[in-house]
Structure 1
Amino acid sequence: MSEQHIVFIGGGPRTAMILERISANRELLDNTALHLHVVDPFPVGAGRIWREDQSPLLKLNSRAADVTMFTDASVQCLGPAKDGPALDQWVQLIRDGQLHDVPSLLLTDPLLRAEVARLGPADFPTRRLQSCYLRWFFARAQASFASPDVIKIHQDTAVDLLSESSTHRVLLASGREIVADQVVLVQGHLDARLESDARSLEFAAHADTADHLGYIPPGYTNDINFQTLSAGTEVLVSGMGLAFTDLFVLLFEGRGGKFVAGENGSLRYLPSGQEPKLLAGSRRGVPYHSKIRSTTTAPLSTGYFTEEAVNELHAQHGELDFFAHVWPLIAKEAAFFYYREIFATPHSFAPSIWSEFHARFDAISWYSPERTSLVAQFVAPEFRLEFEDLEFPLPIPRPLPAQGQAQELNQLVREHIKEDLRVRDSADHPQFQALFFGLLKSFVTLPVVDALLSDTGRIQLAGWWQGFFSFVDSGPPAHRLRELLALHEAGFISFLGPETSFGFDANRQLFCAQTLAGEVHAPWFIEARLPSTHISTSTDPLLVSLYHQGLITEEPGGSGKMHITSLRQVIGRGGSIHRWLFATGATAGRFQGGAFSRPNSNSAPFADSDALARELLSAPAAMNQWELAGAIAQTHRTLG
């Protein structure tokens, strides 16, 4: 019996999903003994980002009913479906006493036990509970093999990979080695070297010049030590996305502050006395849009952004530009869902009105005078959808009033957040849920689009689209925005508004923010965003080595992610394809969804993981350039 050794570098959710898919597709193995190795210094299943060892205050920005790790029947893939409980169903099984193979922490930790007792499908679970779910899924995947010994876990760090002749060896920090036929790089989110970002390096150098100054570069908020940030210190904050949400959770409630119910569903903040003062700004000047509470009533089906439509565009234009060719189809489809829900509102429009609107909408392009005219004729101004207004929602008066400019910006941001909560955290505005699903639905077709895009188009997809989708569809729970308003009302967070830029004032020896209302200064500066995804600047020792060896390269287009084929095989220097080396997840190129997704959504990560699992099982590792050279040399020696 032959043997096949596959080594996974990284043991987070994506690896767990691939392992489950390998088990589901194991009939592809032909009399081969499979040996799977998982290397990760953090607990497998959860990995670094979702590990249990983090603040119990931090939550997912997805509801419990919207998180699954199982490849259900909705997923269009070659492997068999293997249904299983979403996070909310998993919790219910535990409550009902039907599930016993759960991490022991769930039985001993009082906070987790209390969360299991109360969590409902619409609630936002803590990341610690999600960690338990992910670890349980990994253990379930491991148990699905004929022997649990098929998977060997190495709680270690991979530091190098040597490929010599017919052998690939993964070197670990402990000094051990693992011999591999195939290696899969699944490291997930990584840190970047500070010196790789000239501005961050400059800010850090300024902070080192005086004891009263402090600077925190981009990073994972839960991993940052804020102990040197004293109470009362003024802090400039760049970024108002999800990292900013984690930041204010840890700096206020995390330091002992409390939120209590106020009037009309608002919150009031009770300080602990340990609070800093944050002055937050960004390009948009507002936090991500709130999660949506309404439900849709109209059917969610149409055919504007489809694989057929994209292939037709490719036949006409060749390589596609995302903005010129793809985005108008996504916009039209999402807007169709949005307007269909408005017209479906009881007693708002006669059915014949919708039929006429629908027929004319079908025939026009999104960016056209005809669309503008059609919407103006049928839709009241307050319900008209313009994605540019959705992305940059603050109506900034130009010029700002001569007096009270900072107060004007604060009021504009505050009123925007209140309005966002009014329409999104309400059952009365289902058009926003329809818009959410319309944009989310695009992820089914986007993997097809990725292969047809120009390098510029890939930059637009990885950059603008991901940022826009996160801002509109992947924001925080509504209660986080209420907490933000409460902190603002209590005087602990001020809003700097949009178009804010940051620097250092050498004369004042303070960090500074240039806002539409003038300059603001503070002794501390925090960049509330994740590190760069560029593999060339990663601190991961294995990626550093592989990059310098030329085994991995960055994909064209400037995303900084690993250059890979459609089969997830890594492309090295000079365009060589390493058929034994694969990459997927956050560090790998090409379009990919998140590590987990909604049930019954045919989500891209499930199909992608299934395809990769089948590729690993069905295609024995082909010779790389070193193996080929060795084989040729051996042939010459044999033949003389």
Structure 2
Amino acid sequence: MRPQLVIVGAGPRGTGLLERIAANAPELYADPGLDIHLVDPHPPGGGRIWRQAQSPLLWMNSHAKDVTMFTDETVTMDGPVREGPTLHEWAGLDGRVFADRRIQGRYLHWVYERARAELPPGVTVHHHPRRALRVGGPREGRQQVWLEGRPRPLLADVVVLALGHLDAEPEPLQAGLTAYAREHGLVHLPPDFTADSDLSRLKAGEAVLVRGFGLAFVDLMVLLTEGRGGRYEGDAYLPSGHEPVLYVGSRRGVPYHSKIGYDWTGARPAPPRFFGPAEVGELLARPGGFDFRRDVWPLVEKELGFAHYHRLFTAHPGRTATAWAGFEARYADAADPDEVRALVAAAVPDPADRLDLAALDRPLDGVRHGSHEEFQEGLRRYVEADLSRRHNPDHSADLGVFLALLSVYGQLVRLGDIGPWWHGFFSHLASGPPGPRLRQMLALSRAGLLRFVGADMTVTAEDGVFRAAGATVPGFAVEARALVEARLPEPTVGRARDPLLRELHAEGAAETLEGLLRVAPADGRILDGAGRPHPRRFALGPYTDARTPGAFTRPRTGGPAFRQNDATARAALKFLAQLALRTAA
């Protein structure tokens, strides 16, 4: 029987894996036959999140020129580089456009079709538009992948899970809020992919509490305003009359930082300088393990600071008091944060030119306003200042930090599950909304349809309503009959609604303290409780402890997801090639 490879998930991850199989098969798989089964109820390429059947109002949050599905010479991998067009090159778009998600879905489908066409003769792809329910089979034998509505399982010599973002059962707090809403005739929308939420339950003119100020909130804002017939004219929003009034807050109380609106010019530093493969290797080799805050974060902070000051000194030397060479040597030798702060204070006169990661992460810490209206004005000024800075190349040290963040993320992937804080910090600083979305927030705020609650937002369920308050305006609270949790569900294996993951969890697949599926860093093989890698099961994606910023990335930034796809593709092909040889003998 021909070897069989089953890939569960045909979105960007599954598509990227197929591209790497096509690239590596000529070297690693000489057998004339192989069946690849893609299992996904959604069309191959875009999958669920990037499906073409969604609102054209929803954008990507990256410029079209910053989106690619193809490897280049910056990706550290054993397989061959196969370059291809970025989204803007493929679609003929202006590179600085924020394309809508349907265009990205078409691009991803084209990448899928190209990868399929580049497979060697005799390798055939079969798409099964169904959900995978469970995987069974002995460690050393063929696996069985059971599909919804199919009486017999797919037989698989190798199974790769590339499931992407998944629905989850609510945690106890969320379940309690949903039950409270049901009991009192309220509306509670738990964490979800916003495009799939039932927003019709949010009525015109009513107050809606929104907890979460990231990208899920941006989607919610768009669908409840322009999506209900409102429109923008210049800096003003003209309501349709069908919008609710959104009261939004979060732990930080501010939206994610704007996307940077200019391009890099001149020479780049060559990251990593202080947090690279050698440092990661040393951390992994420590007998007692490592602590993120104590052992990892100081290295990350120094790497980000180096990128910031390298750019400031070399591109804007008039704003520094010393020469770069001397500063660089003393920065490299600085042994603790206090020494770095003293060095920076002496060399960089303007505090606005100094990198303060704590202030960037929590800009409202210690900030208090005397009234709700005063805070609305204050936060509008904050957003306007962020927009101005992030679109002004005079502050191009910010872009240096952004590029260093991508480098750091590529290294952190090797450390496994490091907890949720880093991912939130990275998203807040590097994965924020397009500038035009923040301008829309300002217009909605001025129109009275978007109200800011503040930092450390709390929500209570009492007296038959939901009540929200924040630390930024002492004494302020707002009541509403609707509450929206504007974020994706946490990618925890134990609460995943996906039956396949639940079965793996029940059978003993290892998970981290954060509830992520443990996989071998080298190739993505699923680990059991004893740390043994499964010879025939692999996993990639956000529910694993090797999660990356995304399944696609900016060109020439190393693409950790591409590196993972390549390693998994090569391991799977080598296993299948050896199996074919044994079968032939």
Q: TM-score, normalised by structure 1?
A: 0.85
Distance 1:481-1:354 versus aligned 2 partners, 3 A rule: same
Cα RMSD of the aligned pairs, angstroms, is: 2.2
Q: Residue 153 of structure 1 aligns to which amino acid in structure 2?
A: H
Tell me the CA shift for residue 603 of structure 1: 1.3
* Structure 2 counterpart of 1:275, from 243, 266, 272: 243
Task: Determine if contact 1:443/1:603 at 8 Å carries over to the other structure.
Answer: no
What SS does the aligned partner of 1:237 have?
strand
Instruction: Give TM-score, length-normalised by structure 2.
Output: 0.93
Change in Cα spacing, 1:501 to 1:549, as seen in structure 2 (3 Å) is same
Does 2:367 correspond to 1:409?
A: no
Classify the secondary structure of the residue corresponding to 2:397. Answer: helix
1:260 aligns with 2:217: no
Q: Secondary structure at the match of 1:280?
A: strand
Work out the CA distance in 1 between the residues paired with 2:301 and 2:259.
20
Distance 1:395 1:191, change over 3 A: closer
- Identify the range of structure 1 (19-28 vs 148-157) with the bigger mean alpha-carbon deviation: 148-157
| Residue identity matched to 2:555 | P
Q: Work out the CA distance in 2 between the residues paired with 1:148 and 1:274.
A: 56
Q: Which has the larger radius of gyration?
A: 1
CA shift for structure 1 position 312: 4.5
1:120 aligns with 2:101: no
After TM superposition, the structure 1 stretch with the greater mean CA deviation from structure 2, 245-254 or 16-25, is 16-25
Aligned to 1:17: 16
CA distance in structure 2 between the partners assigned to 1:492 and 1:576 by the alignment = 54
The residue aligned with 1:522 is 480
1:201 corresponds to 2:175: yes
Equivalent residue letter for 1:514: A
Post-superposition shift, 1:575? 4.6
Amino acid at match of 1:25: N
Q: Which residue in the other structure is 1:178 paired with? A: 154
Report percent identity of matched pairs.
39
One-letter code of the match for 1:301? A
1:599-620 per-residue CA deviation (whole Å, 9 max, x = no partner) reads 1222111111111001001124
Instruction: Write out per-residue CA displacement over residues 371-411 of structure 1, whole angstroms, 9 at most, x where no aligned residue.
Output: 1111111112222211101101126445x53xxx2223323
In structure 2, distance between residues paired with 1:478 and 1:77 = 34
The change in CA–CA distance for 1:309 and 1:170 in structure 2 (over 3 A counts) is closer
For structure 1, the residue ranges without an aligned partner over 5 or more in a row are: 93-118, 262-266, 451-457, 624-640
- Residues 526 and 538 in structure 2, CA contact (< 8 A), matched pair in contact too: yes
Q: Which amino acid aligns with 1:372?
A: R
Q: Which residue of 2 aligns with 1:216?
A: 189
1:571 to partner: Cα distance: 2.1
1:532 aligns with 2:500: no
| C-alpha distance after superposition, 1:115-134 (max 9, x if no partner) | xxxx3111111110000000
1:563 partnered with 2:538: no
CA distance in structure 2 between the partners assigned to 1:346 and 1:372 by the alignment: 20
Preserved contact between residue 410 and residue 497 of structure 1 (Cα < 8 Å): no
Q: 1:496 to 1:352 in 2, by over 3 A?
A: closer
Counterpart code for 1:256: G
Q: Distance in 1 between matches of 2:148 and 2:320?
A: 69
Query: Alignment partner for residue 328 of structure 2, among 340, 358, 373?
Result: 358
Q: 2:132 matched to which residue of 1? A: 158
1:372 is matched with which residue: 335, 338, 341?
A: 341
- Aligned counterparts, 1:395-474, within 5 A: 396-397=366-367, 400-401=369-370, 405-450=371-416, 458=417, 461-474=418-431
Instruction: Name the aligned partner's letter for residue 164 of structure 2.
Output: G
1:393–1:32 CA distance, 2 compared to 1 (3 A): same
- Equivalent in the alignment of 2:106: 132
Between the aligned partners of 1:160 and 1:449, the Cα distance in structure 2 is 29
The answer to whether residue 248 in structure 2 is matched with residue 248 in structure 1 is: no
- What are the Cα deviations for residues 316-358 of structure 1, in whole angstroms up to 9, with x where unaligned? 7752222222222221122122122222345615896222222
Q: Match of 2:278, as an amino acid?
A: E
Whether the 8 Å contact between 1:394 and 1:413 is mirrored in structure 2 is no
- For 1:619, which of 568, 572, 575 is the aligned residue? 575
Residue of structure 2 in register with 1:106 after alignment: none
Q: Secondary structure at the match of 1:521?
A: strand
Equivalence for 1:99: none
Structure 1 residues 314 and 222: CA distance shift in structure 2, 3 A:
closer
Gaps of 5+ in 2: 580-585
Please give the alpha-carbon distance, in whole angstroms, between the structure 2 residues aligned to 1:168 and 1:622: 17
Superposed CA deviations along residues 549-587 of structure 1, whole A, max 9, x for unmatched, are 33x3323xx221112222311123555542111111122
* In 2: Cα distance, 1:348 partner to 1:138 partner: 49
Count of residue pairs brought into register by the alignment? 569
Q: Which moved more, 1:174-183 or 1:477-486?
A: 174-183
Matches of 1:408 and 1:349 in 2, distance apart? Answer: 34
1:576 and 1:407, CA in 2 relative to 1: closer, same or farther beyond 3 A?
same
Confirm or deny: 8 A CA contact 2:164 2:541 kept in the other structure. yes
Is residue 410–residue 548 contact of structure 2 (8 Å, CA) maintained in 1? Answer: no
Change (3 A) 1:4 1:345: same
* Cα shift at 1:50: 0.6
Deviations along 1:456-484, one digit per CA (max 9) or x if unpaired, are xx3xx341111101000110000000000
Match of 2:143 in 1: 168
For residues 32 and 351 of structure 1, the distance between their equivalents in structure 2, rounded to whole angstroms, comes to: 66
Q: Distance in 2 between matches of 1:480 and 1:10?
A: 31
C-alpha separation between the residues in 2 aligned to 1:443 and 1:347? 29
Question: 2: distance between equivalents of 1:532 and 1:268?
Answer: 36
Of 513-522 and 239-248, more deviation after overlay is shown by 513-522
SS in 2 for 1:209: helix
1:584 aligned partner: 540
Matches within 5 A, 1:90-101: 90-92=90-92
Contact 1:189 1:587 (8 Å CA) reproduced: yes
Measured in 1, the distance between the counterparts of 2:298 and 2:400 equals 18
Q: Which of 495, 498, 506 is residue 455 of structure 2 equivalent to?
A: 498
Provide the rounded CA distance (Å) in 1 between the counterparts of 2:169 and 2:365. 38
One-letter code of the match for 2:68? T
Residue in structure 2 matched with residue 73 of structure 1 by the alignment: 73
Note closer, same or farther for the CA distance 1:43–1:247 as it changes in structure 2 (3 Å cut). Answer: same
The answer to whether the 8 A contact 1:294-1:429 is kept is no
Task: Name which of 557, 566, 574 aligns with 1:601.
Answer: 557
Q: Which amino acid aligns with 2:500?
A: L
- Could you say which residue in structure 2 is the equivalent of 1:299? 268
Shift of 1:155: 0.8
Check the 8 A contact 2:161/2:539 in 1, yes or no: yes
